[in-house]
Structures are given as C-alpha cells and as structure tokens.
Amino acid sequence: KQGHRAGYLVLYFFALAATLATHYLSFLLLPFHAATILVFGKRQDRAHVGLAFALLAAFGAAFLFFPSGAAQVTGSDVSGPTFVPFFIILRDMLNSFAIGVTASLDRAALLDLALLALWLLGVASTVRVRPRDFRLALFLLAYLLLPALALQAGSYLRPLYLNSRHLITTSPAFYLGIACGIDALARRASGARGDSGLRYGFAGITASGLVIIGAAYSLNNLYFDSTFAKDDHRGWAEFLRERMRADDFLILDSPQAETVFRYYAPPGVKWISLPHLGFTEQNQDEEQRLDFSAVADASHNYPRIWYLQLHRAVADPNNHISDLLRRFGQVIDTTLFAGTSTQIILQQFVPGSVVPTRAPALEHPLAIHFGDNLQLIGYDSPRELDAGARGGVKLYWRLDQPSQEDFGVSLRVVDEAGARWGQWDSQPVGNRFTATYWPTGQTIVETHDLPAEPGAPPGKYHVELSVFHYSSGEAFPARPDNSNQSESAIRLGDIFITRPAPPLDPRRLVFDRRAGAEFGEALDFIGYDVDTARVHPGDLIALTLFFHLLKNPNHDLNMRVALTPSPLAFWNLTRAESQVTLPLSGRVPGDILQARVQVRVPAAASAGEYSLRLGVDGEAARGFIFPSSEITIGSAQIEPTGQGNDK
C-alpha cells in the first residue's frame, strides 16, 4: 500500500506539473486540491494535512509571483482586464459550460437556469443523510467555486479575469454534477415498478435532451452564424502578406498578443508591440514616454505604419497608442476581421497628412483629366523594382469640385507587348479618406501600391494607370490637358524589373492553389492562380502557372493544360486543352517563372467537377517527364447552364 501511495503521488505531481505548464491560470486549482485532500484524507494522517498546506503555500507563492512575473498575460495598471464582479464570473461560467461561448446570454437564459437546476439536483443527490456523508457534494462545490473565488481574490490585487476560458479547468465539476442530476431524475422517475429499466432510460434521455439542445444551439451558431466566427488570424496575416511593402512598419497593440502575432505574421515584418507595460502607477509616466518615443521614431523613419489591434478592449482601453499615431499622422484605411474572444482591427497610418500644407515638389508634373473634375497633376515612381516585390508610386491628385462618388485607381506593370506583369486596384488614399471627403482645389497625395509579379523576367517595363468608377468598374476617359482626345489608360513612365538577390523562396509565395510537382531535375511546378474555378459551358478558365527553375535546359518548354472529367465518370468523354509556351531564354536557376493560359470549357460539357491537368509535350519533355504524360494540378466546377457565376 505504501508503494501504491508513492506511485499515485508521482503521477499526481506529474499531471499537476503538466497542467501548470499548459494553462497559465491552472494554479487556481491548488486550493481545490488542498480542500479535496482535507475532505477525503484521514484526519490522523499528518501526511495528508502536510500536503494540503504545501499546496496552499504553492498557491500563495504563485499569487505573489503572478502580478509581477506574469503581467504580460494580464496587462498592467494602465492596460489589461478590468475588475469583474463575482456574479458576472459565475454567469459566464454557467453559460459557457452549460451551452457554449457561441450562445447569447439573453437568448439562452432559461436553458442556462434549467441546467443550473439540474446541476444543483445532481450535487444534492450525492448527499448521504444517514451516514452524514457530504464529501461528494463538497467535492463538486469546491471544484467549481474555489478556483473562481481564488481568481476573484486575486483580482483585488490586479484584475485577472478576461473570460470563462480562464476557468475552463473547472468545467468537469459542472459536467459531473449534470450527470448526477440526470441519474437522480431517471431514478426518481423509474421508481420500483417492473418496467423501471425502460422508465429509467426514457427519463435519462429526456433529461439529457436539455444538454443536447444547448450543445446543438451553440454548435449551430459556431458553424453557421458569422457573428460567432473564430478569430480570423489567418485573414489579417494574408491581408498583410499581400499589401506590406519593404519600407512599412507595424505596431502591435499589446505584448500579450506577441505569441499569436509571431505565429501568423508574414516573414520579414518590422514591428514593435505597444504600449509598454508599467506594473505600477509610479512608473506609468516613464512607460508613456517610451510609447511616445517609439511612435515618434516610427513616424519619422517609415512612410507607412500599420496598427494591428488584437486585444483592443484589453491592451489599450484608453486608446493611448491610437491617439499617439493620430498625433503624428493620419489614419487612411481600416479593415475589420472576424473575432469572438478578441476585436481584430487593422489600420493604416501615414505620417503627417495626405493634404500637404505646402505645394509639393513634383518629380514628374502632369495635367491629366479624368472625367469632369479630377486631375492627376504629377507622380513620383521608383526606377526599379525586384520581381516579386511591392513598391509604391506617389500620385498627386486634385479635385476641381466636390465629388459625388468614389473612384478607384489601377496601376499596372506592362511589357512592350502590353502583357501585364503586376497590377493593384484600390481606392486612392484609403477607405477612411475616399474621394467624397477630399477638399477641392488642394493637392491630395496618395502612394499607390505597385507590385511586380514574381515571374516577371528582368528588363524594362512601363507603368500604366487608369481610373474607374468604384461602384461599376467602368473606366473614366483620360484626357491630357489641351487635348480633345481621350484614352482609357495612360503610361506614366518606365520601370526596370530586376532579379531579386537572394532569389525568392517559393515557400513564401502566395498562390490560389499551391502545388509541388517536379519536372525532372530542372523545374518544379509550385502553384497557380485562377480567376474563378466555378464556370459554365462555353466559359474560359484563366490560369497563371508558376514554376521554380532549378536548371535551365536552354530551350523553351511547350506545355498544355487540359480539362478532363473525373476518372469515375467513365461515360464522360469531354476534354479540352490549351497550349502554352514557357520561355527560358535569359533565365537562371532560382528564378520564378510564370505562364498564362486559358482553357475553354466545351459547350457540351455536363455539370460536375473536372480535373485540371498539366503536361509537357514532345521533345521539350525529355529530361522532365515522359512525353504526353500529365499531372493533376487542381479542379474546376462546371455549373449547369443558367446559373450565375460564383466569383
């Protein structure tokens, strides 16, 4: 028996250590563990009493450590959670344990109360009156309430409670009580009659229905109600990956979110987390001076600042960092992302103002009219840009009279043949300062993104600009000053696309569909972009294929993309293909290559899912794959004729 006791103690301390290492508030369980040992242990056994008091001492030590050593989790005196009354904590626990965090408290109140009554019945059913044994009831009550009481006590030192996930380790007490309540109801309903088994089962299933209804309601909200969507960390990460330039800077709203940010953020982002956490009111002024200095330095050194708020209500409740950013610059764009436990807001700031107080010096003055009242009076453009990089073209606008509608601007990188090798369409300046808010007669400065596609061959290109109605996409006619002729687009100037050094990492490129297929020792197919994968008979499927060059075979590659039905649909003989040439002249190992191809869906194609297959033909296939062989790279959904495109 002594050996068994030692073995159980070893397992207990191992499990306790794992719990403390994986949940930063799990030390709140220590008072419950101590109470359990005192309730169930033998009074004469001093070892039990000693262990209980050791656990209480460990709990006290954790609380002494927590306010200073773990402030990065809960914030500081000037940022972090606010004090929450004990009743609110219990209400959150009841609703999240009984139904789920995706259930509204207002709509689920009656069900919450019904399950609370069932839990109380379960606790009462564990009481044995005649032997006066209340230990099981005390166990369930202590399991659920003591950690919450400990959290509340600690909140008087520093607010700790954010939401019910901090007390998720106590949820087994609720479910055990519910199970006891269901059992008690079922036993009461079955009585002592001969059909007691059936009555017990029926009553148990009926009582369990309350739990099932709550779970079904919560799961329905989780999967089908966008209000309760999971925190969209991948969304803001992809948004930044597509839009951040090399000279951008990012401010994260709280040190508490650094771990999440590091996991999702695009590589190479220059960033800092603010505000600085002051543990006491005494050093609050010093921390605010550090915040002021950090924002001032960022505004002085970077032309564009992103401000990512992952814990807005907790990290910066007084909008201290937002106020500093507005003091040094102007917010021009705001994007919201779904979140339940957090509020995710991504803002873009520019130092100073987009409406300069003095007339700027224009590198390339122009006088291009778009429509009746919009002018492009000049631009500044980079002379070169790496393939796969994102630059910025500074555009200078002027409104002759107030605009009644918003418009969009498209910048493109095109070669001599007019083929596009980079494009970015967006509202000028940003969604927080659209054309309907622009003052008339003043210069508006916009830095418009200009991306170069990763497969663009090194060489000379042109920068092309057009303006369009933002609501309809229809282009404004572009008319140079003192001219009666108009065009849909104008060429601003030349730009040289250079080979990036070091070469682009294919793993960091963003595609609609990522792939990994080797064509011998010379070429890897790494992915493709598709305009839309849901088309109709007669439509075109437009693809951009991307490859990674490992060894140049010194000749172009003739390829084809085929649209074929599923092998299971053996009766369907539909097939369409399109040829495409991949030029390799002047390309070196490490380059990213790309080719555009359009496949026409046959007019007689039946609805269903089809495969997109890629092959290399004829002599060009030698050293890559067997001639006429194909690999499946993706799929396309052919919709029945008469349905609208899903783009």
Q: What is the mean pLDDT of residues 428-436?
A: 92
In the DSSP assignment, the letter for residue 626 is -
- Check if the beta carbon of residue 424 is closer than 8 Å to that of residue 386: no
200, pLDDT greater than 80: no
> Amino acid letter at 558?
N
* Mean pLDDT, residues 206-215: 84
Distance CA 301, CA 442 (A): 26
> How do residues 490-526 score in pLDDT, each as one tens digit?
999 999 999 999 999 988 888 888 887 777 777 888 9
Asked if pLDDT for residue 394 goes beyond 90, the answer is: yes
State the DSSP string of 477-494.
PEEETT-S--BS-EEEEE
Which has the minimum average pLDDT: 52-61, 538-547, 637-646?
A: 637-646
Residue 619 has pLDDT above 50, yes or no: no
Window from 180-194, 321-335, 341-355 with minimum mean pLDDT: 180-194
pLDDT on residue 174: 93
State the pLDDT at residue 646: 43
- Which 3 state secondary structure label does DSSP give 222? helix
Strand segments (E) across 312-373: 329-337, 344-351, 364-370
For residues 487 and 500, is the Cβ–Cβ distance under 8 A?
no
The pLDDT value recorded for residue 103 is: 79
Tell me the DSSP string of 378-435: EEE--SEEETT-EEEEEEEEEESS--SS-EEEEEEEE-TT--EEEEEEE-SS-TTS-G
Low-confidence winner among 73-87, 115-129, 416-430 (lowest mean pLDDT):
73-87
- The mean pLDDT of 370-381, rounded to a whole number, is 91
Please check the confidence at residue 593 and state whether its pLDDT lies above 90: yes
pLDDT at 544: 92
Confidence of residue 57 (pLDDT cuts 50, 70, 90): confident
pLDDT at residue 485 greater than cutoff 70: no
What digits encode the pLDDT tens for the residues 300-319?
Answer: 999 999 999 987 666 676 78
| Average pLDDT estimate for 59-86 | 59
Residue 100 has pLDDT above 70, yes or no: yes
| Cβ contacts of 398 within 8 Å, gap of 6 or more | 374, 375, 377, 441, 442, 443, 444
Instruction: Give the start-end residues of each E strand in 209-299.
Output: 248-252, 271-273
Q: Is 352 left (phi over 0), alpha (psi -120 to 50) or beta?
A: left
pLDDT at 376: 94
pLDDT at 44: 57
13-19: average pLDDT: 86
pLDDT: which is higher, 13 or 78: 13
- Which pLDDT does position 545 carry in this prediction? 92
Question: Considering the chain, what percentage of its residues have pLDDT values greater than 90?
Answer: 35
Taking only the tens place, the pLDDT of each residue in 136-175 is: 999 999 999 999 998 888 777 777 777 787 888 899 999 9
**545, β-bridge pairs:** 528, 595
Residue 198 has pLDDT above 60, yes or no: yes
> What is the rounded average pLDDT for all residues in the chain?
84
Residue 243 has which token pair?
């839009």
Report the distance separating Cα 434 and Cα 192, nearest Å: 77
| Chain segment 437-469, per-residue pLDDT in tens | 999 999 999 999 999 999 999 999 999 999 999
Confirm if 270 and 277 have CB atoms less than 8 A apart: no
Q: Which two tokens stand for residue 293?
A: 């200095």
